[in-house]
A and B are shown apart, each in its own frame.
Chain A
């Protein structure tokens, strides 16, 4: 924390996602469904020097705390990230990510022939494997570039 985080200014209330693997900040925003149209103030630091990681990305979202679903998917693409909940400019809670057993309704299945891509009333469900995720409907395994399958509204 501290020095590097000052590169983007402190926020009064919201969430700071720190220690994101460099280059993943925009994917993190995609997970959060943040495209600038929702009115939130968002600050991004990319390729910020980090003692621990060499370089890292940081995302600050004002006035918004993350849901468990969002945290779960975040853990898949940015497993080293820490989530700091900010109130009154202070970190009141610090979360480390834990990989969930499954993620529901967040990723879309890359298999075009999967029933979850057929306009049926089902949410996608993915089982989390050691090195990827697996669609619970068609069983397709996704290992590379999971962020590309985040279902952005």
Chain B
């Protein structure tokens, strides 16, 4: 397999992360100044699962670099519907493009596609697996607001199925970060993620209540608890209410707490939090473009 695919956050060393974030900061400072960097580059967008924002942020990133994108369209309208394998679809699109972005509902999809294509591949989410570009923009946001070392971070919500959480937890093991995981019993970190964190010797604690740890946190990363994970609507309502935050919840927090969320949110963060200095989630979403510019720049540069 090529070693320039970005499949999981696990493959990123501290140096890799810092290189991307430093470059992202340059793009962030003046996004329109790089329109001649990759003038002929074509990025292939393979989204087997709808994700308007992630897709748009990649489209924006490649256009800011002077390149363009081709898009396989929705699954309903493509040959996938006719039963073509993912491996074949990806090989065909790789023949048109200089790099590929893949979003797919199956875990391990990106790893498999990486074995078949000969252009760099970016994993933009594979089922409950990994979402490394999200992780890099999360790290960028954390670095801007709290720094990446000597921090205490709480990650709350659906830790079982939340791929953004899995990728972020892996990546944070590169830094001096105390990680606290807050979730209902039924949505705790999966065994495989705990295994990796343990192997890395990460400083990790698990909680069921936010207030046990909130006053110590520099960063609180909130994720959405999905209704469809619960067979029973009442059970969902109960849990969702317990793992949401509002101004009252945040009262014991440090003054400079950074509250993040990969978005979209439903009701895990009350709108009244938006106007406080805690709220960093829109800035976080904005950071997607410079970070993806940095990644694409690195991949296309290496492949030239």
Contact = CB atoms under 8 A, between A and B. Distances in A.
Interface residues of A, number: 19
Interface in A90-125: 111, 113-116, 118-122
A146 interface: no
Interface in B127-177: 127-129
A67 B38 CA distance: 51
Contacts, number: 57
> What band does the interface of chain B fall in when counting residues whose beta carbon is under 8 Å from A?
10 to 19
Given A120-B112, A136-B111, A113 B106 contact: yes
Contact of A137 (B105, B111, B191): B111
Given A114-B106, A115-B111, A116-B108, A138 B129 contact: yes
B192 interface: yes
A122 B108 CA distance: 11
A113 B161 CA distance: 12
Given A120-B87, A122-B112, A139-B129, A115 B106 contact: yes
Interface in B8-33: none
A115 B192 CA distance: 17
A113 B127 contact: yes
Nearest to B107: A138
5 contacts: A113-B128, A115-B106, A138-B127, A138-B129, A141-B192
Interface of B: 85-87, 104-109, 111-112, 115, 126-129, 191-192, 195
Interface of A: 111, 113-116, 118-122, 129, 134-141
